[in-house]
Amino acid sequence: MFTLLFSCTAYNAPQKTIPMDSGLLVDTAETETETDTDTDTDTDTDTDTDTDTDTDTDTDTDTDTDTDTDTDTDTGTDSLVDFSQTGPYIVSSNSGSAAVTDCSDMQYTVYSPEGVTQPPVLILGHGFARGADKMQGHAEHFASWGIEVLTPTLCHFNVFTGVDHEMNGQNMVELAEAYGAEQPIYGGQSAGGLAAIIAASLDADTLGVLGLDTTDTMDAVGQNYASGVSAPTFALVGEPSSCNSDNNGVVLFQMMNNSEMFRVTSSDHCDYESPTNFTCEGFCSNSSNTFSDEVIRPTIVQLATAALMSITSLSDDGEAYWFGSGANGLISSGVVQSIP
Nearest residue to 74 via CA among 339, 295, 235, 261 = 295
For residues 188 and 278, what is the distance between their CA atoms, to the nearest angstrom?
A: 21
Q: How many CB atoms lie within 10 A of CB 111?
A: 24
Summarize pLDDT for 26-50 with one digit per residue, the tens.
Answer: 333 333 333 333 333 333 333 333 4
Residue 155 contacts by C-beta under 8 Å, 6 or more apart in sequence? 100, 102, 103, 106, 167, 168, 171
Nearest residue to 1 via CA among 195, 286, 240, 284 = 284
Determine contact, residues 98/174, Cβ cutoff 8 Å. Answer: yes
For residues 335 and 340, what is the distance between their CA atoms, to the nearest angstrom?
A: 17
DSSP per-residue letters across 114-149 = TT-SS--EEEEEPPTT--GGGGHHHHHHHHHTT-EE
Domain-by-domain residue ranges, the chain?
74-338
Going by pLDDT thresholds of 50, 70 and 90, the confidence category of residue 72 is low
- Report the SS3 class of residue 317: helix
pLDDT at 176: 98
pLDDT at 4: 35
Strand duo 121-125 + 185-189: pairing: parallel
Summarize pLDDT for 135-174 with one digit per residue, the tens.
Answer: 999 999 999 999 999 999 999 987 777 799 999 999 999 9
Determine contact, residues 191/157, Cβ cutoff 8 Å. Answer: yes
In the predicted structure, residue 200 carries a pLDDT above the cut 60: yes
pLDDT at 76: 62
In the predicted structure, residue 66 carries a pLDDT above the cut 70: no
For residues 226 and 121, what is the distance between their CA atoms, to the nearest angstrom?
A: 21
- Superfamily the domain 74-338 falls into: Alpha/Beta hydrolase fold, catalytic domain (3.40.50.1820)
Going by pLDDT thresholds of 50, 70 and 90, the confidence category of residue 313 is very high
Alpha helices in 232-292 (DSSP H): 250-254, 278-284
In the predicted structure, residue 309 carries a pLDDT above the cut 80: yes
Going by pLDDT thresholds of 50, 70 and 90, the confidence category of residue 78 is confident
**Percent of the chain surpassing pLDDT 90:** 73
Angle ∠(108,112,113) on CA atoms, nearest 5: 165
For residues 10 and 242, what is the distance between their CA atoms, to the nearest angstrom?
A: 10
